[in-house]
Amino acid sequence: ARAQAMEITEKPDVSYDDIGGIDDQVREVREAVEQPLAEPELFEQVGIEPPSGVLLYGPPGTGKTMLAKAVATKTDATFIKMAGSELVRKFIGEGSRLVRDLFELAREREPAIIFIDEIDAVAATRTDSKTSGDAEVQRTMMQLLNEMDGFEHRGEISIIAATNRFDMLDRAILRPGRFDRLIEVPEPDVEGRERIFEIHSQDLSLADAVDYDTLAERTDGYSGAEIESVTTEAGMFAIRDDRTDVTMADFEAAIDKLESDDGTEYVSSE
């Protein structure tokens, strides 16, 4: 069960070029995580400590996981992902145990990047209720902070956490020595969306030139993940129509479909 709670990727293969519309965030993550992993001596010479932990926050599906994976790819680090919700356990001590296992695994596989998704599950502001479940979650969080404090050569292991609920976080985890580098990952703007459409269409067999500019204009408020669904849905339209080439009309139809239904049905309306 313990191994199932973590997802380990020995050789992740996400490149920075696969990420669209958040160039500033890519640069910040590279500075905060890639550089300390790649050139720890630089930080030593200058006499500064690299950030202890990086927190990526912003709406769902904007590329937070991709960012963490891309740094792991670039630095040849093992990517170890754990969902915060997995750390919330029924039995006393089980969550803390998972945290210890997580860091032990990272030490065995270093260089490694520990990615904790939905950190809010274990680091939300405490409610007043002193229920035992709450206290247990608190203990799990303390264990995580202890492990972070205990790093001697943290250059070889980096910790990145992500959340969609920055407002809910217990500010205690943001203190120096903890998650002390905050990077906001926003929804893409119109240029970002255009770039993300281009990225996700790279592998598509296209019939004619696609007007990415128009697609970007039509998808205000879409996340990167939603744009990816548009391209997949466009491909589905081509298949339903017995074509192997995707057209601009397929993209338009895909957006119409996602706008008009909840996106859960993949059945043609014919």
Q: Report if residue 22 touches ligand ATP, rule: CB under 6 A.
A: yes
Asked if residue 137 binds ligand ATP (CB under 6 A), the reply is: no
Which of 70-78, 91-99, 222-230, 253-261 is the region at the interface with ligand ATP (rule: CB under 6 A)? 222-230
Helices (H) and strands (E) in the chain, counts: 12, 6
Measured from the CB atom, the residue of 65 and 78 that comes closer to ligand ATP is 65
Residue 61, phi then psi, degrees to nearest 5: 70, 25
20 is in an annotated binding site: no
62 binds ligand ATP (CB under 6 A): yes
50 or 61: CB nearest ligand ATP: 61
Q: Is 66 annotated as a binding residue?
A: yes
Per CB under 6 A, does 20 bind ligand ATP? yes
**Measured distance between the N- and C-terminal CA atoms of the chain, rounded to whole angstroms:** 45
Residue 61 assigned to a binding site: yes
Region from 39-47, 60-68, 105-113, 153-161 binding ligand ATP, contact rule CB under 6 A: 60-68
Q: Which CB sits closer to ligand ATP, 54 or 199?
A: 199
What angle do helix axes 248-260 and 224-240 make, rounded to 10 degrees?
Answer: 120
CA separation for the pair 112, 157 (Å, rounded): 5
Nearest-CB residue for ligand ATP: 224
Of residues 165, 193, 187, the one with CA closest to residue 55: 165
- For the residues of 101-149, what is the DSSP string, one character each? HHHHHHHHT-SEEEEEE-THHHHBPPPS---HHHHHHHHHHHHHHHHHH
**Least distance from C-beta 46 to ligand ATP, angstroms?**
31
Among 28, 86, 117, 136, binds ligand ATP (CB under 6 A): 117
Measure the CA–CA gap between 116 and 110, rounded to whole angstroms.
17
Consult the annotation and say whether 142 binds a ligand.
no
Task: Name the β-bridge partners of 82.
Answer: 6, 116
Q: How far is the CB of 176 from ligand ATP (least distance, A)?
A: 25
Q: Is 164 in the site for ligand ATP (CB under 6 A)?
A: yes
CA dihedral of residues 84, 87, 88, 91 (deg, nearest 10): 180
How far apart are the C-alpha atoms of 72 and 68, rounded to whole Å? 6
| Residue 93 annotated as binding site | no
**Stretch touching ligand ATP by CB under 6 A, among 19-27, 141-149, 251-259, 262-270:** 19-27
Asked if 65 is part of the footprint of ligand ATP (rule: CB under 6 A), the reply reads yes
Dihedral, CA of residue 161, residue 264, residue 256 and residue 270, to nearest 10: 160
Residues that constitute the known binding site? 61-66, 200
Binding residues (CB under 6 A) for ligand ATP: these are: 19-22, 60-66, 117, 162, 164, 196, 199, 224-225, 228
Residues that constitute the known binding site for ATP? 61-66, 200
